[in-house]
A and B are shown apart, each in its own frame.
Chain A
Amino acid sequence: MAVNERIDKQDGLRIVTGSPIYTDDIASPDALVVKIMHSEHHYARIKKIDTQEALKMPGVACILTYKDIAAKPITRAGQTYPEPSPQDWKILDEYVRFKGDDVAIVAADTQRHAVEAMAKIEVEYEVLEPVLDFMEAEGNKAVVHQEEDCFAHFDFGFRPKENVAGSLKVNIGDYEKGLKESDVVITREYRTQATHPAMMEPLTAYTYLDHVGRLVVVASTQVPFHVRRQVATALNIPMHKVRVIKPRIGGGFGCKQTSGAEFYPSLVTLKTGRPAKIYFSRNEVFLAATRRHPFWFELTVGATKDGIIKCFDMKARSDAGAYGEHCWTVLEAGAEKCMALYNKVEGYRYDGKALYTNRVSSGAFRGYGKTQNTFAVECIVNELAEILNIDPVELRNRNIIREGEVLRIGHDHIYDAAVMRQDSCKLDYCLKRGAEMSNWKNSESGKTSSNKAEGTGLALSIQGSGIINLDSGGATLKLNSDGFFTLLIGSADMGTGCDTILAQMAADALEVPYESIVVNSADTDVSPYDDGSYASSTTYVTGTAVVKAAADMIKRLKEEVAKLWKLDLEEISYREGVFTGADNEIDLNHLSYELNSEQISVTRSHKCAKEAPPYKSGFAKVEVDLETGKIKVNEFNAVVDCGTPINPNLATVQTQGGVLQGIGMALFEEINYSQSGDELNDSFMTYKLPCKKEAPKINVEFADSYEPSGPFGAKSIGEVVINAAAPAVIHAIYKATGIWFRELPVTPEKMFKALKLKSNQE
């Protein structure tokens, strides 16, 4: 068996020896270097742009401005067509809508030449009044999208004239009834900040024309098929003229689910016929790549005095930034499930809006709205426990969703209960086990010495395993000489190891050794269509396609064997690479040669059809230095219900990585702005990522869970692991100090001030 084994990642050896496997490593040395000239203003119209002098500079191959292209509005969001994101972005536009927006594209022989030429471009701006605070954006006289040609494929509340990029209302059950039945009702405001995905490999793409003149885009992307469509649409060429190849990716976390780099070299290659590449500097990643949507929440929860949660009401506002990539779906994902962990309520209400500002666009980032919403929901549940004087573990025990129950979310009017029934839900176990691991009952809380205080806090989380009726994945299996199989997939391994786990599934489903599976992902000319790697869907959705394809492959091969032996299909059996008839036997190796004149390959797709979310509990142990405000997470215990972990090693490390990102969000990471609204920390020197010394011991366990609708019982893991971390840390800080923080991140400075204020009041 390969599934549930700690198998080494396929690309491991090439990775650890530093081999050239990433986009920039394999780009041709002759490729033109593409650089973007970024706007210096938050909001402006380009009155005049003069490239005459720049064009005369040595090494310059081409310079493009909005005058050179008749761009159509598209969205860069890598989502299934028709995308639920506003079509509001053009490769180059007369208007620049945030500091860092694209003004011109320069391509030259070397980086030096490109930078020198760029300095000669003269731009005259008409500077416009920007709107920088999303809480003031709605109805502001500064309108971010004044152009008439932006549009939405369908109605998701896109009202650009009012700076509303998308809105959403959800109403489930009878909220008023729940409110009436509540003895205690509390309302709180919460805020989450913009954080950077900070994948280590910046945005990058490399392009060239192949032997028949088709555009080949080699890109570090999570969504090859969406890139193909977007590049074709934006450049106004037929889709069959574009091929997208994804090599190894140096991390994505959602940031590479938006096409941030691909258009620029593509445009240059089409204009010049020459290979071209772009490699964002880290500063440019900060300047122009998408980040997590900042949110404001006003949340009300009602409960009886014996701790039955009766209702939730949430108002949410998010900062979409200048372009609305993913803004509406982030609202939707956030509105969907976090409150529904507590499914005994009478009613939920949600009212969300994503607002345009003259800031860098927000976009997809691991957790995708659920991270922010979970923060608010889990924080208020912990506050409620305190007010009710009920142990927070016990309070959750009385309210959480359990196996066999129905998940109540915004879709329940569309899907029947069978789709929403939780056939695998071990959240209660995750809670119990996490409490044990953290010694919850006897854990220290409060002051432990003259200058130290400790506390343990907890939170729960949920995510999806793919979007119902939308997310689809494909798998092609091909039998080759010698009896090995090629597995062609269109999902994008961004480091998670999905190539490896899909091969594990294929091996088990085909009953062959793991080594007999060769994976190729992804190349839009070769791979079956796949939405790409996002929405936690690869294991569950593409994995199911792999299992289906394997079953079909065995059936097809049986047919061939039956033909060979002139027997009926029923007379052929298959086990572990060997076909058996009444008195014959043939293995895959020999069969592949017998079939040399007949290439057997099968392709199957799978569309997500069931709501099979993973669950997690997170317990944080923190220590607060009462003199300096420094907060240290000493230990984090995570118990995850992801169904069957296909590769426990990889699942464990994904959990640890996600937890640390969540801790980063809780304590360190945030964009700071100057008085004039400029970003202050736009490099790794100033934007604080957690280092080894700040990383706690992160213990991970898995619940013994099996999801019948998933491949080998699996659900997703990629995103659920980040969500509970920040609220658990906030809870632990409260347990240590008695102070509730409702805004992230809690820096030592904020902690220090809060401690001062508290001691003054006492």
Chain B
Amino acid sequence: MQISMIINGQEKAFNVEPDEYLSDTLRSAGYKSIKRGCDKSSCGACTVLLEGKPILSCSYLSFRANGKKVTTLEGEREEAIKLGSLIIKEGGDQCGFCTPSLILTTIALKRENANPTEEDIKHYTNGNLCRCTGYVAQLNGIKKYLGVE
């Protein structure tokens, strides 16, 4: 079926199967910041923003995004570098497979909640699993980015 989405500000048309997931549609269109770690909405690696809110694209059917605004990390380069550099400074970019989705989720958090606490951050990003870092360095980077003491 024919659908269109506004991806990172640009309208694009796609021909998708009725049972196709958004992560597959977008990855084949070249948005490789979206990773696939579990295909079962459990790891967060496939996060994209739909109308500004994080969703798990591995379990979101593509046709449902018809006419909607989708943001991938490719569309947030500036913020990604800002937050990313802080995570890098902490050594929190290990294998990096989980990092793009964590960054995108944090960007959404920033827009949703101007003054989050550390607990808010943990809660909001709890679904972004990481097997390498033990989370401490990631959290330190995020706290600096959001100005949380």
Interface of A with B (CB < 8 Å)?
A: 6, 8-9, 11-13, 15-22, 24-25, 29, 111-112, 197-202, 248-253, 279, 281-283, 494-497, 647, 649-650, 652-661, 683-685, 689, 691-693, 695, 697-698
Contact = CB atoms under 8 A, between A and B. Distances in A.
Given A657-B132, A685-B40, A691 B126 contact: yes
A20 B35 CA distance: 10
B140 to A, nearest CB: 10
B103 A16 contact: yes
Given A18-B74, A198-B131, A200-B129, A249 B95 contact: yes
A251 B97 contact: yes
Contacts of B94: 251, 495-497, 653-654, 657
A355 B134 CA distance: 33
Interface string B11-52: 000000100000010001000111111111111010000000
Contact of A652 (B83, B97, B137): B137
B116 interface: no
A652 B91 contact: yes
B96 A250 contact: yes
A16 B83 contact: yes
Contacts of B40: 282-283, 683-685
B131 A253 contact: yes
B45 A200 contact: yes
B91 A653 contact: yes
Contacts of A252: 95
Given A8-B88, A200-B45, A684 B96 contact: no
B84 A12 contact: yes
B62 interface: no
B77 interface: yes
A111 B39 CA distance: 14
A657 B92 CA distance: 10
A692 B122 contact: yes
B136 A13 contact: no
Contacts of A11: 93, 96
Interface in B37-78: 37-43, 45, 72-74, 77
A16 B137 contact: no
Given A200-B45, A698-B136, A18 B131 contact: no
A201 B89 CA distance: 23
B79 to A, nearest CB: 10
A693 B124 CA distance: 10
Most buried by B among A8, A16, A250, A282: A16
B146 interface: no
B33 A282 contact: no
Given A22-B35, A250-B35, 16 more contacts: A6-B89, A11-B96, A16-B80, A16-B96, A16-B99, A19-B33, A199-B95, A200-B95, A251-B94, A653-B133, A656-B136, A657-B134, A683-B42, A684-B43, A692-B122, A693-B122
A24 B34 CA distance: 11
Contacts of B88: 8-9, 12-13, 16
B125 interface: yes
Nearest to A636: B134
A71 B148 CA distance: 59
Contact of B91 (A249, A282, A650): A650
A11 B84 CA distance: 12
Contacts of A29: 28
A250 B81 CA distance: 20
Nearest to B30: A20
B5 interface: no
23 contacts: A13-B84, A16-B99, A16-B100, A24-B36, A198-B131, A199-B131, A200-B45, A200-B97, A201-B37, A250-B35, A253-B131, A495-B132, A497-B91, A650-B91, A652-B137, A653-B92, A653-B134, A653-B136, A657-B134, A684-B37, A684-B43, A691-B127, A692-B125
A661 B131 contact: yes
A684 B42 contact: yes
Contacts of B28: 29
A656 B131 contact: no
Contacts of A18: 32-34, 72-74, 80, 99-100, 103-104
A375 B94 CA distance: 27
Given A12-B93, A649-B90, A695 B85 contact: no
A171 B40 CA distance: 49
Contacts of A656: 133-137
Nearest to B20: A112
Contacts of B128: 692
A221 to B, nearest CB: 13
B6 interface: no
Most buried by A among B81, B96, B135, B137: B96
B148 to A, nearest CB: 14
A200 B35 CA distance: 9
A649 to B, nearest CB: 3
A19 B30 CA distance: 10
Contacts of B96: 11-12, 15-16, 21, 248, 250, 495
Contacts of A281: 39
B84 A16 contact: yes
B43 to A, nearest CB: 5
Contacts of A658: 134
A693 B91 contact: no
A757 to B, nearest CB: 33
Contacts of B130: 200
Top 7 closest A-B pairs, CB basis? A18-B33, A16-B84, A495-B95, A656-B134, A15-B96, A649-B91, A250-B97
B123 interface: yes
Nearest to B80: A17
